[in-house]
Amino acid sequence: MSVIILADISGFPTPKTAWFFNNEELRSADKVTIEGDGKFSRLTIQKTTGKTTGSYKLVATNDIGTAEETFDVTVLGRWRDHLRHQTFQSQFGDK
């Protein structure tokens, strides 16, 4: 199973981005791919395990300042083992 976090980015001048996992900067490697073009940034983590669980942060910086967003990821186990137990709720649904 993979985790993909996609974020839209805007700013002038075009921001530079960096991804962090539990406050340590990530680099593209065997299981991690970081892509982006200044308008978006995508973090892909392949072959997830419980060790993938944690806090992921995207930091965008330019001459004007810095913005950041944190994404909390929890890996419960194999996808098919948990599929029947998942409840999905829309962020925009009725309350």
Domain containing residue 28: CATH number: 2.60.40.10
Neighbours of 41 (CB within 10 A): 22
- Structure confidence at residue 24 (pLDDT): 94
pLDDT of 78 above 90: no
88 within some domain: no
92 within some domain: no
89 within some domain: no
> Do β-strands 32-36 and 40-45 pair in parallel, antiparallel, or remain unpaired?
antiparallel
Q: Name the domain count of the chain.
A: 1
79 within some domain: yes
Q: What predicted TM-score, i.e. pTM, was given to this entire model?
A: 0.77
52 within some domain: yes
**Within 1-95, where are the H helices?**
79-83
- Beta partners for 65? none
Residues 48, 53: Cα–Cα separation, whole Å: 9
User: Which three-class secondary structure state does DSSP give residue 21?
Assistant: strand
Q: Which of 19-23, 29-33, 76-80 has the lowest mean pLDDT?
A: 76-80
Over range 52-72, report the average pLDDT: 94
70 within some domain: yes
Over range 45-67, report the average pLDDT: 93
Residues 79, 71: Cα–Cα separation, whole Å: 19
16 within some domain: yes
Domain residues for the domain of 53 are: 3-83
Instruction: Please provide the average confidence, as pLDDT, over all residues in the chain.
Output: 83
- Residue range 2-16, pLDDT digits in tens: 899 999 999 999 999
pLDDT of 85 above 60: no
pLDDT of 37 above 50: yes
| Nearest C-alpha neighbor of 59 from the set 72, 41, 47, 46 | 41
